[in-house]
Amino acid sequence: MATNLDFSTATSGQIEAELCRHLQQIRLSRNVTQAQLAREAGVSTGTISRMERGQGVSLDSFIRTLIALDIQQNLQVLLPDISIRPMERIDGAGHERQRARPSLAMKDQAPWVWGEKDGEDG
């Protein structure tokens, strides 16, 4: 079930279609009908059909389908682990970041004003 799609250059629609095609292959390899999967996932058969054609479904329906196929644990690899390394925790006195702040270089830039172009003074 390998893919030839380069996810780093693919559009969101191409990635969605590839993920849904992969789910269809998993369903078929388990000899499960669309109706059976829909019933297990708590969605309509039409939703499964649309998903497998790459026509888009909600994130909720996608996750429900993963749960019904018992592959929801694979979602954990989508997002990187944000846990802080022990030395960073010591340096931060045990405080976790609560908000983001732009770097000082970003603050030093003049604010953009409507109608001005780069390098022109109006």
67-106 residue pLDDT tens: 999 999 888 877 766 675 666 656 655 566 677 777 776 5
Structural domain contains residue 111: no
Residue 122 and residue 116 in contact, taking contact as beta carbons nearer than 8 Å: yes
Residue 115: pLDDT band (50, 70, 90) is confident
Give me the domain span that covers residue 45. 34-79
**For the chain, how many structural domains are there in total?**
1
Structural domain contains residue 16: no
Q: What share of the chain is helix, strand, coil (3-state, %, to 5)?
A: 50, 0, 50
Mean pLDDT of the chain: 81
Structural domain contains residue 21: no
